[in-house]
């Protein structure tokens, strides 16, 4: 467990790479939204120049809530969303990833 304490749920350390059509997505926002815990916070990250991300549960705390998380990716370029809503990994998507204890790599491949 990455972070457990009186105010934190059990967390798993999550990192990975985001690609679209095989190319790294730079400066994309990645969110893991807990499915079974409506009191938990959303884990968020922004991708780097190679498309890599590491989720943060909150400032100074890396990780995401254990269990099922809905995954969304967003990237605005020239005022247009590059991952349209309700598509795989777009806002409102139904793409689910399961976060487990310990460290894991979850790569996100957008067609």
- 34-79 residue pLDDT tens: 998 888 899 999 999 999 999 999 999 999 999 999 999 999 998 8
User: Is 47 in contact with 27 (CB distance < 8 Å)?
Assistant: yes
- pTM for the whole structure: 0.90
Residues in the chain: 111
Helices and strands of the chain, counted as H and E runs = 0, 14
CA distance 7 to 79: 38
């Amino acid at each position: 467990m990455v972070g457990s304490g009186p105010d934190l749920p059990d967390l798993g350390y999550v990192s990975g790479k985001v690609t679209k059509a095989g190319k790294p997505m730079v400066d994309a926002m990645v969110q893991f939204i807990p499915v079974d815990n409506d009191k938990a916070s959303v884990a968020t990250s922004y991708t780097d120049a190679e498309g890599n991300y590491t989720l943060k549960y909150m400032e100074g705390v890396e990780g995401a809530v254990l269990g099922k998380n809905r995954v969304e990716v967003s990237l605005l370029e020239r005022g247009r969303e590059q991952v349209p809503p309700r598509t795989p990994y777009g806002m409102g998507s139904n793409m689910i990833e399961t976060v487990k204890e310990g460290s894991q790599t979850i790569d996100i491949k957008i067609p």
